[in-house]
Structure 1
Amino acid sequence: MTNLTYDDIFKELVKSAYDGNLKEGIQQLKEKGGSEVEEYIHYATGGGDPERVVFKVKNCVHDCGYADANGDCQVSCLMEAIERDEQGNVVINGGSCTDCGECVSVCQHECLVDKKEFIPLVEVLKDRKVPVFAIIAPAFIGQFGEDVTPGKMRAALKRLGFYGMVEVALFADILTFKEALEFDAHVNKEGDFVLTSMCCPMWVSMVKKVYTKLAPHITPSVSPMVACGRGIKKLHPDAKVVFIGPCIAKKAEAKEPDVRDAVDVVITFKELQQIFEAVGINPAEMEEDEKEHSSTGGRIYARTGGVSKAVSDTLKRIRPDKPIQIKAVQAHGVKECRQMLQDALAGKIVANFYEGMGCKGGCVGGPHVLIDPAKGTELVNNYGEEANSLTPADNKYVLALLKSLGFDEIDDLFDEEKAKIFSRSFYEKGENGAIVQ
């Protein structure tokens, strides 16, 4: 077997797909790598259980150096879904696994992989009969080079076959309104608090599956990814939507039953870079295609504290007389998030707005980012400062988009029927008021 990595295989398959000879490309890879690469090919082309994201492709008995566990993957697993059999091989407990991808990001031996969803989309992109929109996470700025502007990225994605690119930050702006209204409604005295449901699927999983008693405090908003996907499909019913971001866990979020209508395919920054390399596209060399409409608030969602600042600034703008303004606390990284939630569960309430991000630094520290998280934070902050409006309340593009989606007033986002597009339920109550999982 040659030293073909999973990434190598994916890149070669992307090139073959765009060249129109995918079957031949698969056969050549099998001849190069033998039977051992067949599992990689299967998942690199979108195979496997359609409801799952993370798969074990070969046995692993490696001790990755931790004294308190058998390996990195076990340490990283939020839900303790990784076990060892009698021979010491890694076993994924499907009943506990949330497909967050943390184990994949730390696996040093390519025994665990996440499914690649792009290859089946290539023919649709080449055919161009169906409009396919790329929606890109706020953390994208600077990931593909500091000279790659949003306009150049849009042009590069169109070259791949996408109909257009929408910055998810624009819909983060809309959800900032919604979160501010939720806070206004539910925090009215000392001791009241909310947990933001925005952005991070790992944070949401912690609340839903581990710290369930806190679930009634989580705000009923979808993530900006879901909001953007649903918004596009409301305006373009025949469209397909592809989310591009730094996070493997978004692949799992997109498959959750109550939001799976929003996004058809998820690819990561790392995968997109590999796709560009495979087909010979250099975003830095593209011409500008500028259409930037998001505010500062939406753009800084990518880093720890960004959601809190955006919602706080917006609340001050739309509810300046509210006696209790936002007092926020943030945690980033699984360990910090767990501790913050444990403290809240124990009644140690130190804030009224809790924000959690599963990755250090926020989305800029995601497993598939391309640049150092500190640099990513700096570039995100700079991009936020370049926006023409601080909050969505001052952004004419956001207000116009809301009207096109059927929201005549900002307060319509608190209308249960109208706001279904941007809402989800994180728990159910039984007859006795208990949370039903």
Structure 2
Amino acid sequence: MAHPCSIVCPRNAISFPEGKALIDQDKCIKCMKCVQVCPYAAITRRVRPCAEACGVDAIDSDEEGYARIHQDICVSCGLCTVSCPFAAISDKSEIVQVTFSLMERKRETTSPKLHAIVAPSFTGQFGNKVSPEMIFAGIQRLGFDRVMEVAYGADCDTILLAEKYTTKQGKFLGTSCCPSWVLTARNSYPDLAENIADSYTPMVETAKKIKESDVHAKVIFIGPCIAKKYEALTTEVSGYVDHVLTFEELAALFVAFEIDLSTIGESPAIQDASMLGRGYANASGVGNAIIRTAEEKFGITDISFEKADTLSDCLEMLKHIDKGSTCPDLVEGMACPGGCVGGPGTLASPPTAARHVARFASSAPFEFPVCEKIES
């Protein structure tokens, strides 16, 4: 009798000693083709969803079979938190601190002004009928004094990185907007990591500009990223960003404050950033912005570009660069599938969010980045 599993296996990993199917784990590449064709559903794949989601292999099982996270390997991407079917892994939430700040601001008008800075992936997170302008208006109704696009900081970063490319010394110029990607490179390929730009992320660039105009302001970042919570606690960043919320936590605030975004009428246009800055949320968006700006401002052309989204793909990309099989001029790394639109703090599916990001970017007031002083 024919065995479909052995027929479809590309590595001849399946044999039949004593008439029973045996999979040679050393040969198996986990392509799952045998699972798909087995007429008896006799082949299953038992994996921990959190471990499978971890691109740096920071999760395994202890002696008793419980999941264990190796903190010395973990890069705080947060994808395990949304992959665990039992909600057994959580990140540190600052929603209580932000709520207290909002309530204090309403009680005491002399308290520090609250600035919400919103990641480029925000558009589309609350449904097709809620426009970006309605989301900004809703955030303002929570009690924030100002709501601003982090794409503004992306513009500042783009100009800086395009200029850095003109004086590039190493093998390549690596983007630095994703902290999990940067940590992964430093942990696994420290020599190559030296090529990653030492610039601040768009979140920090935006917060810095706000603090320059109002040193007492409180800045709350709202985005898709759990790694930003780690970043905001670091010594270099904690002075600029006071708290970090995910889009999921923002949705909880809307519910708590009884704000229905669908009922918000016409709202002021958002004009903080360029088309290229708003495109940062999608994979290739950062690299594309740098390439376009380098050509427009410095006349540089023919920049070879390589990108990866998901940390496992980032490691694979770095491996090829380390071996010399690829030699890109510009390298973009993203921890999440599809870029920031695939972050663990999102509400919309990555393909849906990516379409909304592209649409919102096309409506930007200007194409190329500008980084002007923020007025308080």
Q: Which category of TM-score, normalised to the shorter sequence, fits these structures?
A: 0.7 to 0.9
What pairs with 1:162-311 in structure 2 (closer than 5 Å)?
Answer: 162-186=144-168, 192-198=171-177, 200-287=178-265, 288-311=267-290
Where 1:400 maps in the other structure, the secondary structure is coil
Deviation track 1:272-329 (CA, whole Å, cap 9, x = no partner) reads 1122123221123224133423111100000011111111111111111x4x542211
CA distance in 2, matches of 1:142, 1:89: 37
> Aligned pair in 2 of structure 1 residues 272, 107: CA closer, same or farther (>3 Å)?
same
Amino acid at match of 2:63: E
**What is the alpha-carbon distance in structure 2 between the residues aligned to residue 377 and residue 78 of structure 1?**
22
TM superposition outliers: structure 1 runs of 4+ over 4 Å: none
Q: Secondary structure, in 3 states, of the residue corresponding to 2:372?
A: helix
- The residue number in structure 2 matching 1:88 is 65
Q: Secondary structure at the match of 2:306?
A: strand
Which residue in 2 is equivalent to 1:344?
Answer: 321
Output the CA distance in 2 between the equivalents of 1:284 and 1:134. Answer: 20
Asked if structure 2 preserves the Cα contact closer than 8 Å seen for 1:315 and 1:325, the reply is: no
One-letter code aligned to 2:372: A
Distance of aligned partners of 1:229 and 1:400 in 2 relative to their CA distance in 1, 3 Å threshold:
closer
**What letter corresponds to residue 164 of structure 1 in structure 2?**
R
- In structure 2, what is the Cα distance between the partners aligned to 1:245 and 1:149? 16
* CA displacement at 1:241 relative to structure 2: 0.9
1:151 pairs with 2:111: no
Q: Confirm or deny: 8 A CA contact 2:271 2:365 kept in the other structure.
A: no
Structure of greater Rg: 2
Structure 2 letter corresponding to 1:312: I
2:14 is aligned to: none
For 2:357 and 2:219, how far apart are their aligned partners in 1? 24
Name the counterpart of 1:59. none
Are the equivalent residues in 2 in contact too, given 1:197–1:218 (CA < 8 A)? yes
Q: Which residue number in structure 2 is paired with residue 161 of structure 1?
A: 143
Counterpart Cα distance in 2 of 1:400 and 1:157:
24
CA gap 1:80/1:386 in 2 versus in 1, 3 angstroms: same
Q: Return the letter of the residue paired with 1:316.
A: E
**Which fold has the larger relative contact order, with Cα–Cα distance below 8 Å and residues 6 or more apart in sequence?**
2
Separation in 1, partners of 2:157, 2:323: 29
The answer to whether the Cα contact below 8 Å between 1:331 and 1:356 also exists between their aligned partners in 2 is: yes
Deviation at 1:192, TM superposition (A): 4.0
TM-superposed CA distance for 1:84, in Å, is 2.5
**Alpha carbons 1:154, 1:164 under 8 Å: kept:** no
- Distance in 1, Cα, partners of 2:304 & 2:353: 26
Secondary structure in structure 2 of the residue aligned to 1:113: coil
What displacement does 1:85 show? Answer: 2.5
In the TM superposition, what whole-angstrom CA distance separates every residue of 1:176-214 from its partner, at most 9, and x where no partner exists? 000100111116xxx94211112x122111111111110
The 1:114–1:315 alpha-carbon spacing in structure 2 relative to 1, beyond 3 Å, is: same
Query: How is 1:401-412 mapped onto 2 (pairs within 5 angstroms)?
Result: 401=373
Q: How many residues align?
A: 327
CA contact (8 A) 2:138 2:264 kept: yes
Residue 234 of structure 1 and its aligned partner are, at CA, apart by 1.3
Q: Which residue of the partner structure matches residue 434 of structure 1?
A: none
Q: Partner letter of residue 290 of structure 2?
A: V
Identity of aligned residues (%): 35
The equivalent residue for 2:361 is 384
1:61 alignment counterpart? none
Residue in structure 2 matching 1:130, options 87, 104, 112? 112
Unaligned runs of 5+ in 1: 1-64, 393-397, 406-437
Q: Deviation at 1:399?
A: 4.6
Matching of residue 400 in structure 1 with residue 372 in structure 2: yes
More helix by share: 1
